A and B are shown apart, each in its own frame.
Chain A
Amino acid sequence: DQQVKQNSPSLSVQEGRISILNCDYTNSMFDYFLWYKKYPAEGPTFLISISSIKDKNEDGRFTVFLNKSAKHLSLHIVPSQPGDSAVFFCAAETRGYGGATNKLIFGTGTLLAVQP
């Protein structure tokens, strides 16, 4: 049962254009949503997050949008750069007090290729 899904396994965009990565989830109890970037044989690197009570969060070139009614979130990267090429994972978190029962569940990942 995949609670967090990224339906596009890969995405290719031109340098300077917008990259839009999508993510769908099924559990309405998630408290936070996070985006991570990952290179092979390395750990995921945190990019940006959004609380379930917000609908938008922006940090530099990265903006995350949350549509709770549709159980959908997206990551916009503007402008895209060749260095952005990596696997992007969305992740959803349920929180417990003091982190005791925090659970971070990853989506299936989207491989982004930014062409020079």
Chain B
Amino acid sequence: DTEVTQTPKHLVMGMTNKKSLKCEQHMGHRAMYWYKQKAKKPPELMFVYSYEKLSINESVPSRFSPECPNSSLLNLHLHALQPEDSALYLCASSQDAGWNGYTFGSGTRLTVV
């Protein structure tokens, strides 16, 4: 299995809702990442998990809450989002040595109404 699987592919949520994005990989990668991509912009790093511990938080607002329950799973819990949070949320994973690059999922298209 050489894929990163993200669910759901599309999500529409209200500003008072609580929802979660899910990411799964079975490549034995020990680093996992959340990126956010707005239209016509590059992906921007949000969080880095290494060996199931949060190692980097790029000053992301607390309405985004990451969680890494085990080495194969990464969640992003969403609460009280704003319409400007609407974007494509990408999950990625990598081995320690990144020579083969990061493997990205196909993303979750989030719309906040």
Contacts and interface: CB of A to CB of B under 8 A. Distances in A.
9 closest A-B pairs by CB: A43-B104, A46-B101, A99-B31, A106-B42, A100-B50, A100-B55, A43-B106, A99-B96, A44-B104
Contact of A105 (B6, B45, B98): B45
Given A42-B106, A45-B104, A99 B42 contact: no
B104 A104 contact: no
A104 B100 contact: no
Interface string A74-116: 0000000000000001000101101111111111110000000
A49 interface: yes
Counting contact residues on chain B (CB < 8 A from A), the size range is 20 to 34
Contacts of A49: 98-101
A98 B106 contact: no
A108 B43 CA distance: 9
Contacts of A105: 45
Nearest to A97: B96
Contacts of B99: 32, 49
Given A103-B56, A104-B33, A41 B106 contact: yes
Interface in B60-113: 88, 90, 92, 94-96, 98-107, 109
